[in-house]
Amino acid sequence: MIEIIDKHWPMSVGDGKATRKKKPKILAITTDCCTGCAGSPACIEYCPIEACMFWIPDEDHPPFGRIEVDPNLCIGCQKCISKGPEGAFLDGCPWDAIEMVPTEDWEAAHDITLSDSPPALTAG
């Protein structure tokens, strides 16, 4: 079963070129350390995939929220967590709130088998 996720802005716009052709071996996930960057997420501009990183509002504490990663779209490119020598911040999340996890671990934890390509959305 495919979980329908209600995506809010801000979200990744993507570079218009990268697409997911095959299920990646690793996926990005955001951790509880994600603060949402006060509504201006630093991470989303690095993600090459449209709507892969998106805003989830904190219903109890508006206007706060956080960023989530769509596991159906992530290509595991790690651009949202790029680090330089000795872990120096280069690109992506400056707060260490994104982790890369093995896709098979994510699938086992959620009891979901992800597809190579994103699920097609049907109209109507």
Tell whether residue 80 is a contact of ligand SF4 (CB under 6 A): yes
Q: How many CA atoms lie within 13 A of 15 on its CB side?
A: 9
* Nearest distance from C-beta of residue 112 to ligand SF4, angstroms: 17
Q: Ramachandran region of residue 86, left (φ > 0), alpha (ψ -120 to 50) or beta?
A: left
Considering only residues 42-71, where is the footprint of ligand SF4 by CB under 6 A?
A: 42-43, 46-47, 49, 52-53, 67, 69
Question: What is the 3-state composition of the chain as percent helix, strand, coil, each rounded to the nearest 5?
Answer: 15, 20, 60
- Residue by residue, DSSP assigns 78-119 as -GGG-B-GGG-B-SS-TTS-EEEEEHHHHHHHHT-PPPSSPP
* Nearest distance from C-beta of residue 42 to ligand SF4, angstroms: 4
* Number of chain positions touching ligand SF4 (CB under 6 A): 27
Tell whether residue 35 is a contact of ligand SF4 (CB under 6 A): yes
Q: Nearer to ligand SF4 by C-beta: 75 or 85?
A: 75
Footprint of ligand SF4 (CB under 6 A): 28, 30, 34-37, 41-43, 46-47, 49, 52-53, 67, 69, 74-80, 93, 95, 97-98
